[in-house]
Structure 1
Amino acid sequence: MNTLTRDEAHLLLGAIRVLGHRGHQPPTPEEIADLLEMSPSGVRLQLDQLRELGAVALVVNANQTRAEVRDHLLVESLPEKAGPAISDDLKDFDRRKQEEADRMARLFDSGDHEKQRRQKIQDMDQKLKGFQRKKPPNPFGDD
């Protein structure tokens, strides 16, 4: 799960306050996403993280969900920047993808792929010959 940074949390809390002031009611995640020009699903995920932290309350009724600021000071416990764990994971992923691409390039460049394909066809041909129908024995005993 992507960790919410302190700046992102303050941005969301500010949007909740501004939209609450303009509309005289707590905003929906879609309204917040529209104001911040973000995806509604991303805003919902971030609001859920803030709800778990206790900084935001999500009021859910039958038709919609609305966000209210509860304790803005709790966002100060969030990290200032996204941790290096994500960037390390991305670097590891890029390294593995590059290794896979190099392996595939070596396979096709060296001609091993063609050799493997020919060998597979030969193996299938040998197996197919094993399935050939054998001549049934003569019931009269004459060969």
Structure 2
Amino acid sequence: MSEPLLVFRRARAADLPQIIALLADDSLGATREDPSSPPNPRYTAAFAAIEQDSNQFFAVVEQDSHVVGCLQLSFIPGLSRLGQWRGQIESVRIASSCRGQGLGRTMFEWAIEQCRIQGCGLVQLTTDRARPDARRFYESLGFKASHDGMKLSL
């Protein structure tokens, strides 16, 4: 039997309810996301800003015409490291029904390749300390915990 066909594409506004549902579909997301319908206007405004910024790419992954995963790529120019661009991967989610099937690895391979295509010399991400399985997964892909990230909620 053949592997299911996965389609990686730029998210569209019509995907917003499925994206929000993915973001809310875990223990951390359940406490900070709002999957109500229609979408909270803050999501709509944020999505519009992402669409307008050529250095942002919110991707969805479809399987059998259903959105089963998503992630956001940010291409960040910088002066350090001789003007090196960085790729930032965030908001990675996989539908609970599809977890454990290798989709995450496939998504990251795709995302890393997109960063290469954009000329990035480095790919980075952050992960919540409450997600030790995610950290192990990222390490299995070759990511190193070389820096400590810090956040300030406003």
With the shorter chain as reference, the TM-score category is under 0.3
Query: Which TM-score applies when normalising by structure 2?
Result: 0.24
Name the one with the larger strand percent: 2
Which structure has more RCO (C-alpha within 8 Å, separation ≥ 6)?
A: 1
Name the one with the larger helix percent: 1
